[in-house]
Amino acid sequence: AIVIPTVSTERRDYIPMGFIGKDTITTNLCHIVPNGTVYDFGILESRMHMTWMRTVCGRLGSGYRYSRDLCYNTFPWPDAKETQRAQIEVLAQKVLDARDFYPELTLADLYDPDKMPPELKEAHEQLDQAVDLLYRPRPFENDEERLHMLFERYEALLEKTALQGTKKGTKK
């Protein structure tokens, strides 16, 4: 399962997520994505998802309060081909491997913007570029462009859901 902390400081570029085994018991201080894959982890740890999170999630003090309902369940996931999924998996694994270079550091230390190891930062940047390309063929100029595109996709998902609801309620 993928574990996502409920609260994270606003100073971080990425919420430090990870994997846990079946023998791990969690508290209400985190969310769990059961059967989460390395691909799922890659999308969730991307700048794209972090941009969405910073906009739609609530706050606890000045930190972000991750919400499965407001963030995870509303996030417009990309449509990816098998080859693209495989590439995201490879790059997400590079993020995990870069973390393993520093077993003495906690995730909080690794994701402190003043202390983030260069290998981890580079792995995240490569993952970010690949995830961006799942949404469109040209790079995004900034997070505002990412957010604009995400909200357009979100609106399209809402319209599709509304149409499906209308069709189910129609009498024949």
**What's the mean per-residue pLDDT of the chain?**
94
**Residues contacting 6, CB < 8 A, separation 6+:** 28, 29, 30, 31, 65, 66
Kindly state the average pLDDT of the residues 9-18: 95
| pLDDT score, position 1 | 97
Chain centre to alpha carbon of residue 11 = 17
Between CA 62 and CA 65 the distance in angstroms is 9
- What region does 24 belong to: left with phi over 0, alpha with psi -120 to 50, or beta? beta
DSSP state of 163: H
- Which token pair is 77? 């996931």
Q: What is the pTM of this model?
A: 0.92
pLDDT in tens, 81-96: 999 999 999 999 999 9
